[in-house]
C-alpha cells in the first residue's frame, strides 16, 4: 500500500465532505513534491477532440470544482482532468450534510448543489497552472439565475480560452429544474447559443453531460439535437435519482447516487447513445468505474474515454495505476493491439 492510499484510508475516518476538503488541501500542498508522472504504455493512447490522450482514464467533474489542483491530480496518472462544475457567480450550494458515503454499497450520494467559487476564481486558478496535461472545465448555471442559458454563455466565454475543452452540465439532479435543459427545444437553444459563442471567441471542443435517467424517447431527442448541433462529445452519465436496492445507513438520503450501483445503468445508456449517434461525436463513459474491467466495459460500449471519481473515495489514488494495468490485461486477453480497437466492439 502506497503512502497515498494509506492517507486515503485515514481520510475515510472523517465525515465525507471534510475528507474531500482535506484531500484537496493535501493535493495542493504536495503537488511540488509529487514525482513527475511516468510515461503510459502506448497501447493506452487515445486520439480525441484533437488531443493525444496518454491514456483514457480521466478524473470526473465534482472532485476539483474550482480548478485548484488539476496538475496535482494529473501526476497520479490520469490521462485528463475535468474541473467544475463552475457557475458565473460564487454559490454556497445546499445545506450540509450533503455528501454521504455508502460504504457497504461502494457508492456515494451527493446533493452538493453546484457549490463553487464562481467563474472568476476558476479562471485565476486555470491561468496559474504550470502543468501541461489535458484539462477540461465543466460549466453550469446559478440556482437563482433568471436566464440559465445566458449563464452557460458567460461561463463559456470566460473559461473556454483557459481550458482544453468545455463540458455543458445539464444533468445534475441537485439544481431544481436544471435537467429540463435536456428537453429537445431547450437543449437545441442552449447548444446553439454556445456554438455561436465559440464561433466568435475561438474554437474549443464542446461536450454535453447527460443524465442516466432517460427513456428511449429522451435519448432519441438528445441524439437528434447533438447530431445537429455540431458539438464534439457526449459524457454519459451524471449521477442517478433512481434508487436500486442499497444496504448502507445513508441509503435514504436525497440527491444523486454514484459509484458501483451506477455502473450498469450508465453503461446501458452509453451503449444506447453509441447506437443512436453512430460515431457522430466522441463518447465519454462515466459512472461506477472502479476497475480496469469496468473501464473496459465502458470502452466496449462505445466510449473513447472514461472518467471516475466516487471510487477514489474508497480505493485511494493508487486506483488509477491499477485500472490502467487491468485495462491492458483486458486488451491482451482479447487480442487487441490498443484501446482504440476496443471502442464499441461489444455494443
CA dihedral (334, 337, 339, 344) in degrees, to 10, reads -60
pLDDT of residue 12: 79
**Under a CB-based contact definition with an 8 Å cutoff, are residues 225 and 251 in contact?**
no
Give whole-number Cα distances, 250 to 97, 170, 315, in Å: 11, 26, 20
pLDDT of residue 31: 86
Alpha-carbon span 162 to 289, nearest angstrom = 28
Catalytic residue of the set 171, 172, 229, 304: 172
pLDDT of residue 1: 54
pLDDT of residue 164: 98
Alpha-carbon span 103 to 209, nearest angstrom = 26
Give residue-wise pLDDT tens across range 277-292: 999 999 999 999 999 9
Give residue-wise pLDDT tens across range 37-92: 899 999 999 999 999 999 999 999 999 999 999 999 999 999 999 999 999 999 99
DSSP bridge pairs for 52: 47
pLDDT of residue 8: 66
pLDDT of residue 347: 54
CA dihedral (51, 26, 21, 148) in degrees, to 10, reads -20
Active site residue 237: no
pLDDT along the chain (347 residues), means of 10: 62 89 91 89 98 98 98 96 98 98 98 98 97 96 98 98 98 95 97 96 95 97 98 98 98 98 98 98 98 98 98 95 98 98 89
User: Smallest Cα–Cα separation from 206: which of 230, 224, 183?
Assistant: 230
Looking at residue 242, what DSSP letter applies? -
Alpha-carbon span 326 to 317, nearest angstrom = 15
Alpha-carbon span 206 to 130, nearest angstrom = 24
Alpha-carbon span 245 to 249, nearest angstrom = 12
Cell numbers found for residue 294: 469496468
Cell numbers found for residue 17: 465532505
Give whole-number Cα distances, 131 to 47, 126, 238, 304, 307, in Å: 20, 10, 27, 23, 20
Domains of the chain plus CATH, in order, are 3-342 (3.20.20.70)
pTM for the predicted model, two decimal places: 0.97
pLDDT of residue 2: 61
Amino acid at each position: 500500500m502506497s503512502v497515498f492510499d494509506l492517507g486515503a484510508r485515514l481520510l475515510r475516518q472523517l465525515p465525507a465532505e471534510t475528507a474531500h476538503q482535506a484531500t484537496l488541501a493535501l493535493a495542493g500542498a504536495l503537488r511540488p513534491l509529487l514525482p513527475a508522472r511516468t510515461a503510459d504504455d502506448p497501447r493506452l493512447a487515445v486520439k480525441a477532440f484533437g488531443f493525444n490522450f496518454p491514456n483514457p482514464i480521466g478524473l470526473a467533474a465534482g472532485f476539483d470544482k474550482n480548478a485548484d489542483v488539476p496538475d496535482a491530480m494529473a501526476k497520479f496518472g490520469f490521462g485528463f482532468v475535468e474541473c467544475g462544475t463552475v457557475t458565473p457567480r460564487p454559490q454556497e450550494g445546499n445545506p450540509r450534510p450533503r455528501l454521504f458515503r455508502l460504504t457497504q454499497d461502494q457508492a456515494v450520494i451527493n446533493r452538493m448543489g453546484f457549490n463553487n467559487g464562481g467563474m472568476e476564481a476558476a479562471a485565476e486558478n486555470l491561468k496559474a497552472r504550470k502543468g501541461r496535461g489535458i484539462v477540461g472545465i465543466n460549466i453550469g448555471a446559478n440556482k437563482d439565475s433568471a436566464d440559465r442559458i445566458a449563464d452557460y454563455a458567460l461561463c463559456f466565454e470566460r473559461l473556454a480560452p483557459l481550458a482544453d475543452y468545455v463540458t455543458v452540465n445539464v444533468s445534475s439532479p441537485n439544481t431544481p429544474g436544471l435537467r429540463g435543459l435536456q428537453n429537445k427545444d431547450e437543449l437545441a437553444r442552449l447548444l446553439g447559443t454556445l456554438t455561436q459563442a465559440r464561433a466568435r471567441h475561438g474554437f474549443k471542443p464542446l461536450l454535453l453531460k447527460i443524465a442516466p435517467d432517460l427513456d428511449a424517447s429522451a435519448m432519441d431527442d438528445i441524439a437528434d439535437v447533438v447530431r445537429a448541433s455540431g458539438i464534439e462529445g457526449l459524457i454519459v452519465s451524471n449521477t442517478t435519482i433512481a434508487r436500486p436496492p442499497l444496504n448502507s445507513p445513508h441509503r435514504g438520503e436525497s440527491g444523486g447516487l454514484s459509484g458501483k450501483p451506477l455502473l450498469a445503468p450508465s453503461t446501458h445508456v452509453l451503449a444506447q447513445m453509441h447506437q443512436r449517434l453512430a460515431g457522430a461525436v466522441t463518447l465519454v463513459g462515466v459512472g461506477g468505474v472502479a476497475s480496469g474491467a469496468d473501464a473496459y466495459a465502458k470502452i466496449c460500449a462505445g466510449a473513447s474515454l472514461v472518467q471516475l471519481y466516487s471510487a477514489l473515495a474508497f480505493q485511494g489514488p493508487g486506483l488509477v495505476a491499477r485500472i490502467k494495468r487491468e485495462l491492458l490485461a483486458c486488451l491482451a486477453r482479447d487480442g487487441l493491439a490498443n484501446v482504440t480497437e476496443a471502442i464499441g466492439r461489444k455494443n
